[in-house]
Amino acid sequence: MKANITLHKEFSIGETDKRLYGSFIEHLGRAVYTGIYEPGHPKADSEGFRNDVAALVKELDVSVIRYPGGNFVSGYNWEDGTGPKELRPVRLDLAWATKESNSFGTNEFAAWTKKVNAEMMMAVNLGTRGPQEARNFVEYCNFPGGTYWSDLRRKHGVNDPHRIKLWCLGNEMDGPWQICGRTAEEYGRIALEAAKVMKWTDPSIELVACGSSHMRMPTFGDWEKTVLEHVYDHADYVSLHMYLANHENDIPNFLGRSLEMDNFIKTVAGICDLVKVKKNSRKTVNLSFDEWNVWYHSNNADRKIEKWSEAPPLLEDIYTMADALAAGCLLITLLKNADRVKIACLAQLVNVIAPVMTEKSGSAWRQTIFYPFMDASGFGRGTALRCPVTVDKYDSREFCDVPYIEAAGVHNREKNEINIFTVNRNLGEAVNLDAQIAGFGNISLVEHRALYNNDLQACNSASEEKVKPKVLSGGRCENRSGSAFLEIALPPASWNLVRLKIL
């Protein structure tokens, strides 16, 4: 099979925001406890942070990390996670039916994000709480001093403000599973009032309003429109969430679901622009895709977890080669919409549907989905380029005209690089890819790296890494008539990174 793509310097989508490569830590399962934080672990530092986990997070070059939820936040009192640890209350977490010790909280999270070179993305509770508690939280975190809440932070040993710039106005408030879920009208009103007092406290912050929990919600579309009619003037982003499942083991259909993500993004962007027109506003509300991943492997195991245990092994999906391909398709979809999606969070980061797994008192290791994210985060920063693909298509159980090749290109001016990301959805056949690249002058091929395994159910573990990238030879790049012509072979069912240098 053959495929053709075209890249031109002048045909850009937009700049990739560095926050496109974010992730998520929730007080859920072992994400925090025995994940990023395990005092007494052989590789823990003096603050209890696992150095082995931090090293893997740095490999991913995660730009921003959302915290503390997720469903957890809708029942969370942020004050519980501050002050002397011996005085912090143990609470029942109704979101996940577990006990929360609160021995890890806001200030610990702030210290850990510095350790892994990431920014914080904080969520406020608009379920059981409201604007006043949200405003107080901003003051505690961001005000320098001389007020009750800022001085309390300093009393807790944190003299300088955290300067958190990105805040979520609750989480999935349309969901019946959410603690104190709301109608669009109810949420729009409380989000507006919270947004006002939060920005009055710190005008420099940016706010993310809750969109629909997923696009198959019965209120999808109407929810976004109603909420935005309330908060448009104060919110900077609206959230999108999407998880892929493959219970039927129908991999062609599974890999086609990135088309649904693309439609989701374009639909929500259109609703934002509709409200912009209705309000006669000059402001553009962009998108925060702050939960995305594959999630289904752990569903049966989660039903067997004993209620009210502490840090149980919840949502611990062990990912396959097929899951890595699906994650790669989603990453490419985000790049193809970089003009509107400015923030995205792989949910989550450690142990809970995560690229990084740990053993309690033991080792940390990379899941299959680690590698597409690492490649995109490391080489997908710059100007996203339009990347039309000519290739055969297939129909699946739910989707029509799924292209066998998904592709995105990014031009990094600072490093004088062009990087191309592709997924070959053809499960049984290599695809010979020809790319014409114009407008950049002469180009050389630096590297073609691919992730593939003949067994699409192959997984990694603490003892064996069956799925890891391979550097491939055989590609070639020629310069003629002012353009570069690239020829490479994409292995069947593979994620590919092609690195090019502008000479």
Catalytic residue among 79, 108, 291, 417: 291
Separation between Cα atoms, residue 488 and residue 473, nearest integer Å: 9
Count of residues in the chain: 503
| Cα 272 to chain centroid, rounded | 21
Which among 264, 280, 260, 284 is positioned nearest to 272, based on CA atoms?
284
Crossing angle (nearest 10°) for helices 321-336 and 258-278: 30
Separation between Cα atoms, residue 257 and residue 244, nearest integer Å: 7
Catalytic residue among 172, 193, 406, 417: 172
Three-state SS letters, 331-398:
HHHHHHCCCCEEEEEECCCECCCCCEEECCCCCEEECCCHHHHHHHHHHCCCEEECCCEECCEECCCC
Task: Give the single-character DSSP code of 74.
Answer: G
306 is catalytic: no
Separation between Cα atoms, residue 268 and residue 184, nearest integer Å: 15
Separation between Cα atoms, residue 33 and residue 452, nearest integer Å: 32
248 is catalytic: no
Separation between Cα atoms, residue 495 and residue 330, nearest integer Å: 12
Q: Which residues pair with 402 in a beta bridge?
A: 394
Residues in CB range of 116: below 8 A, 6 or more apart: 54, 57, 58, 62, 65
Q: How distant, in Å, are the alpha carbons of 244, 250, 254, 300 from that of 247?
A: 10, 8, 9, 11
Token output for 256: 């086609």
Catalytic residue list: 172, 291
